[in-house]
Structure 1
């Protein structure tokens, strides 16, 4: 792994750890993680191979990433306070996020430095995965799916909190919470 690989992987991990402390839900809550995965996609995603079972591998990892993202977004607390929305990632949200990011990092280390390259080559040949680029595309798109699914889940849930907040403003109540941290 290069220094850039480490920095981008760790930056994506820090996105959720930053949200273990409650923070305001604003544009930067969406733009920072999207910017990081856009950079990763630009840097690593040259093509999306479609030969053999490449698309099966890609679809499996994209589905896994999306499921982790939805879970992480569902386990993020969204709270309305003083007319603003705040989010806080719970333990379950952080664990799901780390599972996805950690899986990619562990795979990169195993293949690049842990002797896993031969095992991946044998697996690829046995399952008709045609190139290294299929693995790259699968993991990059998995990260993209995880980030987009998490942010989409938070966005949808924040709209629910906004709708619940409107009657609250008329009634003069304090705060509303959508979801729980685990």
Structure 2
């Protein structure tokens, strides 16, 4: 992993801090996480391999990202600020799910470049995954879907909150 890789991973993991402190639900707070993950995808994603079981790997990672993102969104509290603007605050479960998703991808990349490449290559051969490009695409899709799913769930809950239905966060 390069210094740039570590910085990008840290930035994505640290997106949890404003979520815990509480984010005003504005256009900026909607766009910022999507732009950051999109920038990471643009930096790393060169292609999406579709041979062997690469598409299955993509589907599994997308499903994992969706589950983590929906869980994050459901475990986020909504409250109205003193100025009337909605604020979304991630609770412990939401923060843990976010960190698990982002850190698992970073951990995989670290393992791949620090002694785990042989085991990953063996697994890939045994499961018809074509190589590093397939893993990169699948893990980036997982991150993008996690962010999009969390954002969508929080925004849908906010719309219901604003319409008078007060959806509660998951009890933790």
TM-score calculated relative to the size of structure 1: 0.89
Shift of 1:179: 2.1
Q: Does 1:155 align with 2:145?
A: no
Runs of 4 or more above 6 Å deviation: none
Bigger mean CA deviation after superposition, 16-25 or 57-66: 16-25
Point out where structure 2 has 5 or more consecutive residues left out of the alignment.
none
Counterpart of 1:90 in structure 2 is 91
**Matched residue SS, 1:20:** helix
Q: Is structure 2 residue 5 aligned with structure 1 residue 5?
A: yes
2:110 aligns with: 109
Contact (CA 8 Å) 1:90, 1:181: kept in 2 or not?
Answer: no
Matching of residue 179 in structure 1 with residue 158 in structure 2: no
How much has 1:53 moved relative to structure 2? 0.4
Instruction: Give the structure with higher Rg (CA).
Output: 1
Q: Following TM superposition, by how much is the alpha carbon of 1:22 offset from its aligned partner in structure 2, in angstroms?
A: 2.4
* Cα shift readout 1:129-167 (whole Å, capped 9, x = no counterpart): 1121000000000000100000001110010111018xx
CA-based RMSD of the aligned residues comes to 1.5
Q: What is aligned with 2:29?
A: 29
Q: Separation in 2 of the partners of 1:54 and 1:177?
A: 38
Tell me if structure 2 keeps the 8 A contact 1:76–1:90. Answer: yes
With 75-84 and 122-131 compared, the bigger mean Cα shift is at 75-84
The gaps in structure 1 that reach 5 residues or longer are 166-175
Q: How does 1:24-173 map to 2 (within 5 A)?
A: 24-81=24-81, 82-113=83-114, 115-164=115-164
Alpha-carbon distance between aligned partners in 2 of 1:88 and 1:144, rounded to the nearest angstrom = 20
Q: Deviations over 1:2-59 (max 9, x none)?
A: 1221122111111112221123111221222111111111111111111000001111
Q: How many angstroms does 1:80 deviate by?
A: 2.2
- How many residue pairs get aligned? The number is 171
Structure 2-normalised TM-score?
0.93
Cα distance, 1:164–1:53 mapped onto 2, change above 3 Å: same
Contact map agreement 2:73 2:94 (CA 8 A) in 1 = yes
